Chain A
């Protein structure tokens, strides 16, 4: 019997302890937001948080999660609404096919928790395990920077000693312009 908490809810599963955590989550628990992409931890579509650490659930035996707390894409929003990363993903119109985005978002949430104001190199390093075949990397980066900028802006509101008048816009990496003619 394997026992763990997913998104705060206790589960007891009577399954082969070698079963990858991904399939336990998808087939036994029935949460399908976490995706299967490669089965060898190369694409990141299956990323979940295991005791707060982002892991590729396709290669973690479910036995390794015994007694653990797991968070999936279904568990990151709180009662007040979407997680800031989810909102940023909508604001920046990040997803196309959307299949990789659960994993992208789980990696981004962990990155911003550990580094609230990540550099480009931090983002590259934290996010390069997640493949997006629709190629929305620039938008993912913008989404992360939007959240970082928003949280900095909140700090500046609550910190009267902060001398900076305003935050500069995050580097977008994308310009868009329409010419008529």
Chain B
């Protein structure tokens, strides 16, 4: 049996008689922290990494993260393979199944963990960021840009290094030489003095009986041979020939197809259903009533949607049936103003004496707001479920397979051991697929039907029943001293989620008062690529830009002056400015804007260049500088920056989920538009390997795009965009918003 180490638990074993398997698990249970008592079940592991070495020297990395396009599975495999000194051509990966038992195979039961450190980000943000930490213990989540910086650093590398050490030890015994005399290269162990060499596989069985090292020695960056290289992604070949299996592609025996309509006003219940027309339609199998939805089960998807359209549904009345977006924004404004008057805001940061600083300086006040946003994954939400005899099996693409399993168990009131979740490629996740709502619906429909069912949401259902990026209003005040340097920064906003540091600024301003007030609505919300950074990045980087303009300073140089104590940030900012050729004269009706945002352990600066053409904003170019500590796959990090920028641009230019009569107004790509090839800018990514702690990649590209764009639009047009999206502004007329006081 293996032993606990400071980092986790490593164990070795033999699988199928001939393969070595090494497991590493990191428990969430630092029982001395605030998480104490929340680890309700002793057997879950939060992070686990595995490696299997077969008799033919093939290496399989078993990764506990799902693939939604971010390329993490390949990067994690690189990390393991490098520490193992494996031959990359012999390496493949598989995704760990959502089974506690799987993890327990090596972990055993009843152990007590000492002081395993939990990455800070886990504390609140693992589980879709808004749900209780206690539930987070059922996680196998892919989110928070965590794969590489947590699983990779604490799991995959350790597993690879531990496997290498036990293999060497086994070889040393067999050859009767010292372990220190052995070297490894591309899956081969060598003993130079005797000239002996043999593949890892020869020692796999013997190694499986050796106690794994407590703390295997990890490579230093100069020893990396696979990490830091842009290895082609292992999942891509299947994504160019139609063979990649997404959740929506799953077919199981005797499966029917379901289409669903949930209550348009969130919180409404099903009151009455008239199925007289629908049930007679061709292919219809059954019409199933759920608490807040109606599902039509048919032989095919089209038949199901046709019959659903012919189903007459009456929903219950709710208190929100008259609510619209304007009322929600007003509620937010009033909540901030009311809380400030009563001194009832919740404090994020309070340093110095902001009130005195305001009295002594030139005061600048601004208000910003951002709307609700849908995730709009290309693959509409779907799940296949089969519920029978107290057991549930689900086939779906989920960012959180273990969480999905536990949520299904709770919804069906059965033990989690009776639930199996089979995970597939996700056609986009962006946070949306961390929530199990569709899988639960599919399971309830299957249970009522008594047969397996594939539930596919229409695009309209997907747009109107998301867990939205929250709309937020944020109010700012600042004071500039006689040298036009900011001396006070006051920021009050509604509704804090995760990560806690999202509204914090890196700039040296002595007196800061950052606080928030809760102002709940009936709109369901959830994590959306970069989570709170998606809103606060826009707010803080727009306001600092406005201060620069008020100070009559160049926005880049203004930021530079305030970053002397943050050399890492400064270097990223400088690189983006330099590579964009900041200061190069631009044409008439052109402009540029800059932003700086640290999130999920990475620092990103963006310069956006725009042109105003016939009253429309055209985004010409985006220059990105990123310091993620170390780029495990430089092309992978580059791809994530490109992706994050386009995701942020779609949101900033067009993204607006409006609430009308309590429900979502937008429904499909015709009224919820996306950036397309024709409006996609040139994106240039520049990477700094600072070798500081490793950061995330999937999310940090997104938050800086909206503010850099808004700042560029101001530079080009004189119009300051304070209410996203940009499409709400008319640039055909000279339109300069009043500075609010």
Contacts and interface: CB of A to CB of B under 8 A. Distances in A.
Q: Do A and B come from one complex?
A: yes
Interface stretch (B77-85, B243-251, B499-507): B243-251
Interface in A102-141: 102, 105, 123-125, 127-141
A125 B230 CA distance: 31
A114 to B, nearest CB: 17
A128 B71 CA distance: 25
B318 to A, nearest CB: 28
A87 to B, nearest CB: 8
A105 B236 CA distance: 13
> Which of B243, B244, B249 has the most A CB atoms < 10 Å from its CB?
B244
B678 interface: yes
B67, B302, B638: which has the most chain A beta carbons within 10 Å?
B302
A175 B685 CA distance: 6
B690 A181 contact: yes
B486 interface: no
A149 to B, nearest CB: 18
Contacts of A19: 300, 302-303
Contacts of B685: 174-176
B456 interface: yes
Contacts of B560: none
Contacts of A15: 300
Given A20-B302, A98-B244, A177 B678 contact: no
Contacts, number: 221
B172 interface: no
Contacts of A99: 246, 377-379, 425, 427-428
A176 B624 CA distance: 10
Nearest to A34: B242
Contacts of B669: 38, 40, 42-43, 131
A155 interface: no
Interface stretch (B130-138, B332-340, B530-538, B641-649): B641-649
B459 A179 contact: no
B390 to A, nearest CB: 30
A124 B236 CA distance: 24
B41 interface: no
A106 B444 CA distance: 37
B684 interface: yes
A89 B639 contact: no
Interface string A62-80: 0000000000111001000
Interface in B348-376: 376
B668 interface: yes
Interface in B465-483: none
Contacts of B251: 30, 32
A132 B668 CA distance: 15
Interface of chain A: mostly helix, strand, loop or mixed: loop
A178 interface: yes
A140 B639 CA distance: 12
Nearest to A129: B676
A100 B70 CA distance: 15
B236 A90 contact: yes
B678 A97 contact: no
Contacts of A18: 302
A72 B242 contact: yes
A178 B646 contact: no
Interface in B47-86: 67-71
Nearest to B233: A93
Given A32-B249, A74-B241, A179-B686, A93 B236 contact: yes
B682 interface: yes
Interface string A139-178: 1110000000000000000000000000000000111111
Contacts of B192: none
B236 A95 contact: yes
A136 B240 contact: no
Interface in B515-540: none
A174 B638 contact: yes
Contacts of A37: 378-380, 459
B635 interface: yes
B378 A128 contact: no
B249 A138 contact: no
Given A33-B243, A93-B635, A27 B684 contact: no
A100 B426 CA distance: 11
B682 A138 contact: yes
Contacts of A141: 677
B664 interface: no
A127 B687 CA distance: 29
A116 B301 CA distance: 38
B239 A101 contact: yes
Nearest to B458: A39
A96 B70 contact: yes
Interface in B687-701: 687-690
Contacts of A93: 230, 232-233, 236, 635, 639
B55 to A, nearest CB: 30
Contacts of B380: 36-37
Contacts of A138: 642, 680, 682-683
Contacts of A180: 689
B99 interface: no
Contact of B639 (A74, A139, A173): A139
Contact of B300 (A23, A42, A125, A131): A23
Contact of B240 (A30, A95, A135, A178): A95
Contacts of A179: 575, 686-689
A15 B298 CA distance: 14
Contacts of B246: 35, 99
A82 B69 contact: no
B259 to A, nearest CB: 11
A72 B429 CA distance: 25
Contacts of A82: 240-241
B602 to A, nearest CB: 15
Nearest to B67: A97
Q: Which of B236, B246, B303: most chain A Cβ within 10 A?
A: B236
19 contacts: A19-B303, A27-B300, A31-B242, A38-B669, A39-B668, A42-B668, A89-B236, A90-B240, A97-B68, A97-B377, A97-B425, A98-B69, A98-B244, A124-B678, A129-B676, A130-B676, A176-B634, A176-B687, A180-B689
Interface of B: 67-71, 228, 230, 232-233, 235-246, 248-249, 251, 257, 282-283, 300-303, 305, 376-380, 425-430, 456, 458-459, 571, 575, 631, 634-635, 638-639, 642-647, 649-650, 668-670, 674-678, 680, 682-690
Interface of A: 15-16, 18-20, 23, 26-28, 30-40, 42-43, 45, 72-74, 77, 82, 86, 89-90, 93-102, 105, 123-125, 127-141, 173-181
Top 8 nearest A-B pairs by Cβ distance?
A: A33-B242, A135-B646, A99-B427, A97-B69, A98-B239, A96-B69, A73-B242, A42-B669
